[in-house]
Amino acid sequence: MSSTIVGHLIHGEIVTTGKRSQAVYNPATGEATKQVMLADQSTMEAALTSAQAAFPSWRNTPALKRAQVMSRLKVLLEQNADKICRLITDEHGKVLNDAQGELQRGIENVEYASYAPELLKGEHSKNVGPSIDSWSEFQPIGITAGITPFNFPAMVPLWMWPMAVACGNCFILKPSERDPSSTLLIAQLALEAGLPKGVLNVVNGDKEAVDALLTDPRVAAISFVGSTPIAEYIYSTGCANGKRVQALGGAKNHSIVMPDADIGNAVSALMGAAYGSCGERCMAIPLVVAVGDATADALIAGLKTEIAKMKVGPGTDVSNDMGPLVTKPHFDKVSEYVAIGVAEGADLIVDGRGIKVAGHEQGYFLGACLFDNVKPGMRIYQEEIFGPVLGVVRVATLQDAMDLINAHEYGNGTCIFTRDGEAARYFSDHIQVGMVGINVALPVPVAYHSFGGWKRSLFGDLHAYGPDAVRFYTKRKTITQRWPSAGVREGATFSFPTNK
């Protein structure tokens, strides 16, 4: 085991003291390569104290200067992209070019945060009454926090803290302890870009760290991305402690393929959406709803052909299409879901279990799996698997397909493949899902829109990043002022003020 220690970033310094730690693994080899420190009560107190001390000065820093830090950070992220992406691949397992795409999407959120002077301008109205002016402004709310998942260790934190600090807040980030190194490096680059000490603190940890953020009265708002059971816990506990909370949960995204669809293009898109990043994406497509048996048969044939061409191996080799799953427990969990699908009666067309990668026999590799005749009620239909498992569901009509999607507990993302504009318009207008693609398998909004699902995929009113992030990380204050004319005394009035 390597002696490399991944510490916390508190008040601009790396802290490696503490009594608890756990191993960080390279999923391509199964080897423990680092130890990550886990925060205790004293660690959390140090981070909170640092943020509290930094807030008054940072709050009053002009928005333009805060934005300039983001602009410099964007450049540093681009200059250090290779190093960051290698850390992602070494600890998460995704193929390097997939890590590069993740980082680029994160950089776009940093760029959006650099527009803070425009986004925070507020509104102004003159003479709303006799010599009375009124305006609103967006003020920072204080110490904010983020709890982020393992599957996007660079991108998801960049959904949160750049906009939070650009709005004048301080931020405490609790990344996944499974792959913490790229997150920590990016935070260090933010210091290099000019972010003052204490504005951003990073604490690695488990439930002890999470609960400290949820219950401490100094934390005003919390953002979370992860599974639905944890999202629900974060939301209910945070709200019970008086915090503003947005908690993005799980997904079971369906893709509808219509009989008139371009099957070849649909298959290509679905391969990436189902098996890219080993299926460890909340916007992955684990279910295809084929309208008509002929459509399903064509899809199965095309998917089988493409799966046979796939290369599975370590993410450091960019010629590979898919790397390993993130940990051995997760590998076991996904493998068990495949066995469950067989036991439930679905037809396992392609079985990716048992794959061995030469030179990486201890890695957590699972090949692409493909089921046909998946039925509602099966666990592989209902539950989020978060692995390279794609199921085909057969229905007779578009409405049947939409009824399935609308009845599901999750409503994160969905898409339809069709050449029929009327069908696409009807689908996008009536489907009960937060993010919709038309011939786009992964309809992840760009940085200047906002990301979020419906139903049990999102707890809270505001989505992540984009315009909603400005609203989440600020409070609106409306100010009305009047300067009476000198020497004019007015009598008291007891009726409710109006402009009449």
Catalytic residue annotation: 282
Residues making up the chain, counted from first to last: 500
Say how far apart CA 488 and CA 500 lie, in whole Å.
21
Q: Are strands 8-10 and 13-15 parallel, antiparallel or unpaired?
A: antiparallel
Using the CB atoms, write b or e for 342-370: b if 16+ within 10 Å: eeeebebbbebeeeebeebeebbbbbbbb
Tokens found for residue 437: 């693609």
Tokens found for residue 326: 């993130």
Say how far apart CA 59 and CA 190 lie, in whole Å.
17
Say how far apart CA 30 and CA 322 lie, in whole Å.
16
Question: Tokens 């059971």 appear where?
Answer: 229
Paired strand residues for 350: 370
Q: Which helix (H) or strand (E) holds 454?
A: strand 454-455
Say how far apart CA 202 and CA 7 lie, in whole Å.
9
**Cα 125–chain centre separation:** 37
Say how far apart CA 139 and CA 168 lie, in whole Å.
8
Q: Are 225 and 149 in contact (CB under 8 A)?
A: yes
Say how far apart CA 375 and CA 382 lie, in whole Å.
9
Say how far apart CA 364 and CA 493 lie, in whole Å.
76
